[in-house]
């Protein structure tokens, strides 16, 4: 029994040793087989891979946008900014003293008056009484003059009688004829009439009227206020005309027609305020004067542009955006007209006064031009460009004269300056 058990143990140990040998064999042989297979596969891939061929690099011509040159007549338009100021503005003051008795309902800030409208009335009772007193004084002076005229006739007859009796000893003929008395009576009547005129004038001055078509800018008194002569009652601004004070560089004045007298018309202008509805925000004006001094801060020249009916009070109903005193507006002033020039986009101008041209061979040419006018969006060129040439308006990274370029599209985006006289005509 014991021998059988020993035999079984020996067999089990032999099987265990064989299992270990197989495991060791798999651990060693299998990786070697995998490495060998990988090497064979890599060798096959390497031997069958395509071979790259060497080529010289191809240069691709850049794509550009161009404008076609058209020589024609163009009108300069100057773009500037300005501030709306009154054309007529006064401080309305009282000429007599008294309490304000009545006041027009429109006498408020923003109230509108026509020329001659009654604005307010100062209590006139004292001035009416003074007027009656002056009338009485005039009547007394006229009565005294009539009496003196009667005395003149008596004195004349007495003087003739005295001279007829040989009364040559009377030396003072003027006193005998009462000439000083007559002069005094006449002067008294003239003084009484002057005082009556002054009383009538003071009575009329109790009624304060609008001196011209105006709007109330500020109001300083109210009903019942007591005012003295020369007290300011309000500030009035004329509504028939406003002006826009425009700042411009001094060198641009040469392009604007500035009148030297009232009969000479100035340059036309468009005033654009900041309204949401642009169709109602544009008004027309005209240059009337050049200010004598420069701005203190920017050293810019200043011109005045007149704008008629700025609040549309004469048209019946508002057709445009009313201008407001102190409003900041944009102004486009019609300048001189230039013949035989080319208008190109501002983006086409390079390095001050150079442009890029695409010639018939598709090569780039860098050319110097004579720029006579520069604006924010366009420039006017007199010399250096010919009709039909193509001017590059797009950007190039490294432009070189003679480099090949491709023009975008089959047709250029031509910007022609036609025979029109400008945007104001």
Q: What angle do CA 29, 30, 32 make, to 5 degrees?
A: 65
Q: Which SS3 state, helix, strand or coil, does residue 371 take?
A: strand
Q: Is residue 217 assigned to a domain?
A: yes
Q: What's the mean pLDDT when you consider all of the chain?
A: 82
Would 45 be classed as within a structural domain?
no
**Other Cβ atoms closer than 10 A to 196:** 21
CA–CA dist 320, 277 (Å, integer): 9
129 and 17 in a common domain: no
**Pairwise CA distance, residues 207 & 412, whole Å:** 73
**Do both 400 and 387 map to the same domain?**
yes
Q: How many CB atoms sit inside 10 A of residue 158's CB?
A: 13
In-domain check, residue 419: no
Residue 417 counted as domain residue:
no
**What is the total residue count of the chain?**
425
Q: What is the CATH number of the domain that holds 356?
A: 2.40.420.20
Question: Of 336, 353, 383, at which residue does a domain stop?
Answer: 336
Domain around 355:
63-74+338-407
Same domain, 352 and 376: yes
Same domain, 228 and 251: no
Q: What is the pLDDT of residues 48-60, one digit of tens each?
A: 766 666 666 566 7
In degrees and rounded to multiples of 5, residue 22 shows phi and psi of -65, -40
Residues 397 and 343 placed together within one structural domain of the fold: yes
Q: What is the pLDDT of residue 412?
A: 40
CATH of the domain at 250: 2.40.30.170
**pLDDT band, very low/low/confident/very high, at 319 (cuts 50, 70, 90):** low
Residues 102 and 139 in one domain: no
Q: pLDDT over 90 for what percent of the chain?
A: 40
All residues at 6 or more sequence positions from 283 whose CB lies less than 8 Å from its CB, including other chains: 270, 271, 273, 307, 310, 320, 323
Task: Look at residue 286 and tell me if it is in a domain.
Answer: yes
SS3 419: coil
Q: What is the b/e burial string over 401-418, where b = at least 16 CB atoms within 10 angstroms of the residue's CB?
A: eeeebebeeeebeebebe
Tell me which of 237, 259, 294 is where a domain ends: 237
373 and 323 in one domain? no
214 shares a domain with 116: yes
More confident residue, 44 or 203: 203
How confident is the model over 391-413, as pLDDT tens digits?
Answer: 998 888 888 888 888 888 644 43
Question: 89: closest CA among 205, 244, 218, 204?
Answer: 218
289 falls within a domain: yes
Would you state the structure tokens that stand for residue 92, as one six-digit string?
């309305």
**Residue with the larger pLDDT of the pair 234 and 44:** 234
Q: How far apart are CA 191 and CA 415, in angstroms?
A: 81
CATH number at residue 218: 2.40.50.100
329 shares its domain with 246 = yes
- pLDDT of res. 410: 40
- Residues 330 and 292 grouped into a single domain: yes
Is 333:287 a contact under the CB 8 Å cutoff?
Answer: yes
> Residue 423 corresponds to which tokens in the numbers above?
């945007």
Task: Count CB atoms within 10 A of the CB of residue 269.
Answer: 26
Residue 143, domain member (yes or no): yes
Note whether 67 and 181 are same-domain residues: no
Same domain, 348 and 381: yes
CA-closest candidate to residue 357, choices 381, 394, 391, 396: 391
How does residue 150 score in pLDDT terms, banded at 50, 70 and 90? confident
330 occurs within a structural domain: yes
Q: Does the pLDDT value for residue 318 go beyond 60?
A: no
Q: Give per-residue burial for 22-44: e unless 16+ CB within 10 Å, then b.
A: eeeeeeeeeeeeeeeeeeeeeee
Question: How many CB atoms sit inside 10 A of residue 129's CB?
Answer: 12
Is pLDDT above 90 for 285? Answer: yes
Higher pLDDT, residue 124 or 422: 124
What mean pLDDT do residues 22-45 have? 71
Give residue 424's pLDDT: 34
Among residues 310, 336, 362, which one ends one of the domains?
Answer: 336
The count of structural domains within the chain is 5
């Amino acid at each position: 029994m014991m021998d059988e058990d020993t035999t079984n143990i020996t067999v089990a140990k032999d099987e265990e040793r064989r299992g270990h040998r197989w495991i060791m064999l798999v651990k060693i042989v299998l990786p070697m087989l995998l490495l060998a297979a990988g090497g064979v596969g890599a060798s096959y891939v390497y031997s069958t891979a395509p071979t790259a061929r060497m080529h010289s690099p191809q240069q691709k011509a850049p794509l550009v946008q161009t404008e076609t040159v058209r020589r024609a007549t163009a009108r300069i338009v100057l773009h500037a900014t300005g501030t709306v100021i009154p054309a007529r503005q006064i401080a309305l003051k009282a000429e007599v003293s008294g309490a304000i008795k009545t006041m027009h309902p429109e006498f408020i800030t923003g109230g509108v008056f026509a020329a001659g409208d009654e604005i307010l009335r100062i209590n006139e009772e004292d001035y009416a009484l003074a007027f009656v007193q002056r009338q009485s004084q005039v009547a007394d002076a006229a009565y005294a003059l009539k009496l003196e005229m009667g005395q003149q006739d008596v004195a004349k007859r007495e003087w003739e009688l005295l001279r007829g009796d040989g009364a040559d000893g009377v030396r003072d003929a003027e006193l005998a004829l009462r000439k000083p008395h007559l002069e005094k009576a006449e002067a008294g009547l003239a003084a009484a009439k002057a005082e009556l005129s002054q009383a009538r004038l003071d009575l009329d001055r109790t009624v304060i009227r609008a001196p011209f078509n105006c709007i109330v800018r500020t109001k300083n008194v109210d009903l019942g206020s007591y005012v003295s002569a020369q007290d300011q009652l309000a500030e009035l601004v004329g509504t028939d005309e406003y002006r826009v004070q425009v700042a411009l560089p001094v060198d641009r004045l040469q392009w604007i027609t500035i009148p030297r007298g009232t009969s000479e018309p100035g340059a036309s202008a468009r005033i654009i305020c900041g309204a949401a509805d642009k169709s109602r925000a544009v008004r027309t004006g005209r240059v009337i004067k050049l200010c004598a001094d420069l701005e203190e801060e920017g050293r810019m020249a200043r011109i005045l542009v007149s704008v008629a009916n700025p609040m549309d009070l004469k048209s019946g109903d508002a057709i445009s955006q009313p201008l407001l005193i102190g409003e900041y507006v944009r102004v486009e002033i019609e300048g001189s007209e230039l013949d035989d020039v080319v208008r190109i986009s501002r983006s086409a101008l390079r390095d001050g006064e150079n442009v890029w041209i695409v010639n018939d061979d598709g090569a780039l040419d860098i050319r110097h031009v004579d720029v006579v006018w520069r604006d924010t969006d366009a420039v006017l060129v007199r010399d250096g460009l010919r009709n039909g040439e193509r001017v590059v308006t797009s950007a190039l990274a490294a432009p070189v004269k003679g480099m090949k370029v491709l023009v975008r599209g089959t047709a250029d985006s031509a910007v022609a300056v036609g025979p029109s006289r400008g945007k104001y005509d």
